[in-house]
Amino acid sequence: MRIKKNKAGNRVLKSFEDLNKEYEMTLALVQKACKHEEISDWCDEWWAIGHSTGRRVKHCLHCRKRVEVDESALYNMRKQQLKNNKHWKKHMTKEECDEYVKTGKWPSNLSKRLKQSK
Ligand SMILES: [Zn+2]
């Protein structure tokens, strides 16, 4: 179904957004109906190639829905980030570091503080 009609009733090719919306809706229906009977082993989750989210997940081998999420590695990854970047850590309080490890949220004014320190 790559053809749709515009307001004038003419047939036009669907856009990326149209096709993507159809894909998302169809996938949501499949994932809702699937019984998730075959589950993967734990694997790393990536948000882009070479960029781990820090989460470990198990997903359904049929519909790819995440059925289990392990965030314990995520906390370790954030702790490691703070350990590796002493410049950030120097400008954050202990409470802000703990908050970042727990939630992934940076202090809202951290970039301002970093700029002022240069
Ligand atoms: Zn499934």
Is beta strand 11-13 parallel, antiparallel or unpaired with respect to 3-5? antiparallel
pLDDT tens digits for range 74-99:
888 888 888 888 877 788 888 998 89
Q: Cα(87)–Cα(30) distance, rounded to whole angstroms? A: 46
In angstroms, how far apart are the furthest CA atoms of the chain?
62
Confidence band for 38, pLDDT divided at 50, 70 and 90: very high
| pLDDT of 64 | 96
- Dist. CA 40 → ligand 1 center (Å): 11
Q: If you measure from the C-alpha of residue 9 to the centroid of ligand 1, how many angstroms do you get, rounded to a whole number?
A: 38
52 CA distance to ligand 1 middle (Å): 23
How many angstroms does the Cα of residue 30 sit away from the middle of ligand 1? 8
Phi, psi (deg, nearest 5) at residue 80: -65, -40
Residue of 24 and 110 predicted with greater confidence = 24
